[in-house]
Homo-oligomer: A and B are copies of this chain.
Amino acid sequence: MVVGKVVGSVVATRKNERLLGSKFMIVQPLENMKAEGRIVAVDNVGAGIGEIVLVAVGSAARIGCAMDTAPVDAAIVGIIDNSIGLMED
């Protein structure tokens, strides 16, 4: 998983029907995380803009969030409220 900050959201009126009801958030991974840029992730925990979240990618997002047959490859699965060694280089 990667840790990032929710920085926005996108809306798609015309979309795959299995995505109906999903909320798509834009997550900016923290600087020292494994990630090349922003990820669009389905929100599984009610995260808001500005929050630091845990994002699962790949089949884990789809299966882990009970959206097994949806075209989802990233999901916010936790809101970080404490950490050790997260920001140090």
Contacts of A35 in B (CB 8 A): 34, 36-37
In Å, the complex CA distance between A19 and B64 comes to 9
User: Would you give the 0/1 interface string for A24-46, flagging 1 where the beta carbon is closer than 8 Å to chain B?
Assistant: 10101100111111111100111
Total copies of the chain: 5
Q: Is the CB of B15 within 8 A of A85?
A: no
16 A-B residue pairs with CB within 8 Å = A1-B24, A1-B72, A2-B38, A3-B10, A8-B84, A10-B82, A10-B83, A11-B81, A19-B78, A24-B78, A26-B84, A28-B32, A32-B37, A34-B35, A34-B38, A36-B36
Q: Is the CB of A12 within 8 A of B72?
A: no
Name the interface size band of chain A: 35 or more
